[in-house]
């Protein structure tokens, strides 16, 4: 068999999401950290924050202009000052040009 030059392979660009959404955190429940993934159907200003059950923002994970596409952000279970948060229920809030989205997170010891 001739193993010479291979023909060029067409690479399709990753399809842009048709919906803006916040995926379920992975893992959840989590001990040391979790990954939040969100999809943007259009680019724009994005805010991603973590709130405790009383509605107080404990961590700002992202506040930036992001292009359309899929984005991932790690959360280490700490607050804005770097202090480890206690085990319990938290909420991730994604604010986008297409609206706001919430997901429940559970941190365990």
* Per-residue pLDDT tens over the stretch 1-20: 555 665 665 555 567 889 99
CA distance 16 to 90: 29
Q: What is the pLDDT of residues 88-106, one digit of tens each?
A: 999 999 999 999 999 999 9
Encode pLDDT of 30-78 as tens digits. 999 999 999 999 999 999 999 999 999 999 999 999 999 999 999 999 9
User: How confident is the model over 75-89, as a mean pLDDT?
Assistant: 97
Number of residues that make up the chain: 109
Q: Which three-class secondary structure state does DSSP give residue 9?
A: coil
Instruction: Label residue 84 by pLDDT band (50, 70, 90).
Output: very high
Integer Rg of the chain from CA? 18
pLDDT of residue 93: 98
Give yes or no for a contact between 29 and 109, defined as CB atoms under 8 angstroms apart. Answer: no
pLDDT at 73: 97
In sequence order, the 6+-apart residues with CB closer than 8 A to the CB of 16 are: 41, 68, 69
Helix (DSSP H) and strand (DSSP E) numbers for the chain:
0, 7
Residue 48 forms beta bridges with which residues?
62, 94
């Amino acid at each position: 068999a001739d193993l010479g030059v291979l023909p060029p392979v067409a690479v399709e660009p990753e399809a842009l999401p048709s919906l803006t959404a916040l995926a379920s955190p992975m893992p959840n429940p989590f001990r040391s950290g979790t990954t939040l993934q969100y999809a943007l159907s259009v680019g724009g200003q994005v805010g991603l924050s973590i709130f405790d059950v009383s509605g107080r923002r404990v961590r700002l994970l992202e506040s930036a202009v992001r292009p359309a596409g899929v984005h991932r952000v790690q959360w280490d279970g700490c607050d804005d000052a770097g202090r480890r948060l206690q085990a319990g229920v938290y909420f991730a809030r994604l604010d986008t040009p297409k609206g706001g989205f919430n997901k429940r997170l559970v941190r365990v010891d």
